[in-house]
Amino acid sequence: MIVLWIVLSIIGGILGLFILYLLFTIVCSAFVGKKEYDKNSRFYRFLLNSWTLIAFGILRIKLDVKGMEKMPESGRFLLVSNHRSKFDPIVSWWAFRKYDLAFLSKKENFGVPFFGNIIRKCCFMAIDRENARNALMTIKRSAELMKANEVSIGVYPEGTRSQSDEMLPFHDGVFKIAKMADAPVAVVALKGTDEVHKNFPKRGTRIYIDVVEVIPRETVAASTSHDLSKIAREALEKGYNNI
């Protein structure tokens, strides 16, 4: 009985701390305005990363990361990746957390309770897929944040999630971010994120992340957005197939 009481007390204590932290996060998120921010909040970035770690524990997600030695030693960069699951940005901002990634995302994600406000404070931005002029404004703002050394930017050139192993056509325009910011492009292949919802709760999921290539800023400056898109796509297809 004593052992059972101790176990129940520990479980109750952990659950209580979880609820308190959740309430604390909700209160903090309530003070965030419905606007885009130009400063990466260290406090809200901590909240984002801590909840990511909690989610990984609950979902039993394990990351297998390769190619980190290829990453730029200094300065900001544009990260481009294949897109299969809602978990893609989550595993990416955790794997590359020291680089303070801010993703361009559909506006609906900013309406998710408390989570939407947290990512606003981390300089995430909504991109309008239906309006080219608004999308260009977001691209320009992304480049400005990179030049100001606030964040590195993450994008999915496919624009939306692919439902198969075949990548969708790339939108060349997102590569303008790197050109405007005079920054390198990190090409990252992801595999396994689409298995998380299938595996939970019966088993965990191992997700593979591979930095397959970093296109240097000299190549970025000398190439068109279309050329960069082609280089990145070829590297991604090769990298994804080799994972």
Tens digit of pLDDT at every position of the chain (243 positions): 776 677 677 787 788 899 999 999 999 999 999 899 999 999 999 999 999 999 999 999 999 999 999 999 889 999 999 999 999 999 999 999 999 999 999 999 999 999 999 999 999 999 988 888 999 999 999 999 999 999 999 999 998 888 877 899 999 999 999 999 999 999 999 999 999 999 999 999 999 999 999 999 999 999 999 999 999 999 999 999 998
CA distance 160 to 29: 27
Classify residue 111 as exposed, middle or buried by CB count within 10 Å of its CB (0-12, 13-18, 19+). Answer: exposed
The pLDDT score that the predictor gives to residue 194 is: 95
* Beta strands 152-155 and 61-66, pairing class: unpaired
The pLDDT score that the predictor gives to residue 10 is: 77
In 65-171, alpha helices (H): 87-95, 115-121, 132-147
Q: Give the side-chain half-sphere CA count within 13 A for 108.
A: 2
The pLDDT score that the predictor gives to residue 166 is: 83
Alpha-carbon torsion angle 187, 62, 100, 72, nearest 10: -40
Angle between the N-to-C axes of helices 87-95 and 42-59, in degrees from 0 to 180, rounded to the nearest 10: 120
Kindly tell me the sign of the dihedral angle through the C-alpha atoms of 109, 132, 40, 36: negative
User: Strand pairing partners for 155?
Assistant: 80
Nearest residue to 126 via CA among 113, 99, 152, 108 = 108
Q: What is the pTM of this model?
A: 0.93
CB contact at 8 A, 229 and 157:
yes
The pLDDT score that the predictor gives to residue 172 is: 95
CA distance 187 to 80: 5
The pLDDT score that the predictor gives to residue 243 is: 85
The pLDDT score that the predictor gives to residue 161 is: 87
Question: Strand 205-215's sheet: what is its strand order?
Answer: 61-66, 205-215, 185-191, 78-81, 152-155, 101-105, 125-126
Q: Is the peptide bond before 89 cis (omega within 30 degrees of 0)?
A: no
